[in-house]
């Protein structure tokens, strides 16, 4: 079976990160789904699977693009969330404060991108809501945060605190939503440290995606594996390049055959 070291530049460079962050249930995670249903045939194309018609191939290509994008956006999300999770002291100066606001906005934006791609994975696999449901509350949280006025922050000796951001469709009086005003929030009564919010959101996102991976694998198998290869995807490239560690990228690359 193909390894991520035979993927594109991101997959090769971040193979260990992808394995660590997307192990799925230990059997079906990013690498196993990629190797079985996406892969790299050595010519910058998806591996060949037996018996797919043109519509199924188009759907598989769209699935591959969404699956890859989900992982890349998750990497960008984690970089920012990890920085914010280390804030454990008061912020000094307006420049530092503005930088943190920018990081927070970036984290929320990347969170939305990841959730959108998880949704697209489900759509292209015709899985209904069975995949997206695992991160649906985070998509709601992202919407409440991104469509609101600037979220108020309060500082104490441990760092910045923010309101509890609503992750349900119906906000409560103790949570921040897209319709909230500064005067609506009593930060001393209902708030959390920004660092804790970043860490908690990070944990929730990766936990939700990993819970969804067995479902992703199941629907991908139903969609793209025909009876002849019910146990193993046909992979012409793997048979000829086990020793290869730096092949061309898989899928349709957007950057000179190096990365998507």
Residue 256 lies in a domain: no
Q: Quick one: pLDDT at residue 1? A: 82
pLDDT at 106: 97
Q: Report the distance separating Cα 87 and Cα 100, nearest Å.
A: 10
CA distance 259 to 256: 7
Q: What is the pLDDT along the chain (260 residues), one digit of tens a residue?
A: 889 999 889 999 999 999 999 999 999 999 999 999 999 887 778 999 999 999 999 999 999 999 999 999 999 999 999 999 999 889 999 999 999 999 999 999 999 999 999 999 999 999 999 999 999 999 999 999 999 999 999 998 889 999 999 998 887 778 899 888 888 877 657 899 999 999 999 999 999 999 999 999 999 999 999 876 444 544 444 443 343 444 434 444 433 333 44
The answer as to whether 127 is a domain residue is yes
Spatial separation of the C-alpha atoms in residues 215 and 222, rounded to whole Å: 11
Q: Is residue 13 part of a domain?
A: no
- Residue 61: the pLDDT is 97
The CA distance from 249 to 45, in Å, is 8
In a domain, 241, yes or no: no
- Distance of alpha carbon 113 from alpha carbon 46, whole angstroms: 24
Q: What is the rounded CA–CA span in Å between residue 258 and residue 83?
A: 28
Q: Provide the CB-side half-sphere exposure for 16 (13 A, CA).
A: 1
CA distances from 80 to 108, 143, 187 (A): 9, 18, 24
State the Cα–Cα distance between residues 233 and 224, nearest whole angstrom.
9
Range of the domain at 141: 52-225
Strands 191-193, 154-156: pairing kind: unpaired
Q: What angle do CA 125, 126, 129 make, to 5 degrees?
A: 105
What total of structural domains would you count in the chain?
Answer: 1
For residue 76, give the nearest of 14, 12, 6 by alpha carbon: 14
Please check whether residue 62 lies inside any domain of the structure.
yes
At 40 the pLDDT is 87
pLDDT at position 188: 56
What does the alpha-carbon distance between residue 115 and residue 102 come to, in Å, rounded to a whole number?
20
pTM for the model: 0.85
Three-state secondary structure of 34-51: HHHHCCCCCCCCCCCCCC
* 239: in domain: no
pLDDT at 108: 97
Beta bridge partners of 160: 155
Looking at the domain assignment, is residue 47 inside a domain?
A: no
* Residue 90 lies inside a defined structural domain of this protein: yes
The CA distances from residue 145 to 4, 48, 153, 171, 225, in Å, are: 35, 42, 13, 12, 40
């Amino acid at each position: 079976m193909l390894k991520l070291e035979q993927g594109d530049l991101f997959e090769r460079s971040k193979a260990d990160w992808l394995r660590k962050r997307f192990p799925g249930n230990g059997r079906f995670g990013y690498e196993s789904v990629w190797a079985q249903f996406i892969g790299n045939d050595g010519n910058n194309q998806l591996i060949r699977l037996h018996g797919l018609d043109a519509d199924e191939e188009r759907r598989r290509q769209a699935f591959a693009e969404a699956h890859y994008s989900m992982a890349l956006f998750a990497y960008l999300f984690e970089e920012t969330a990890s920085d914010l999770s280390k804030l454990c002291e008061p912020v000094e100066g307006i420049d530092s404060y503005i930088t943190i606001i920018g990081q927070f906005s970036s984290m929320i934006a990347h969170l939305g991108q990841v959730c959108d791609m998880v949704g697209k994975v489900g759509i292209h696999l015709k899985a209904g809501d069975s995949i997206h449901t695992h991160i649906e509350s985070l998509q709601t949280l992202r919407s409440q945060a991104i469509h609101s006025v600037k979220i108020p922050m309060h500082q104490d000796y441990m760092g910045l605190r923010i309101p509890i951001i609503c992750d349900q469709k119906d906000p409560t009086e103790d949570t921040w939503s897209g319709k909230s005003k500064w005067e609506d929030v009593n930060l001393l009564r209902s708030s959390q440290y920004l660092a804790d919010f970043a860490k908690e959101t990070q944990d929730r996102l990766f936990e939700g995606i990993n819970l969804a991976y067995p479902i992703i694998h199941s629907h991908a198998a139903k969609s793209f594996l025909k009876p002849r290869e019910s146990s193993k995807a046909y992979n012409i490239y793997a048979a000829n390049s086990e020793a290869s560690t730096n092949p061309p990228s898989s899928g349709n690359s957007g950057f000179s055959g190096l990365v998507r």
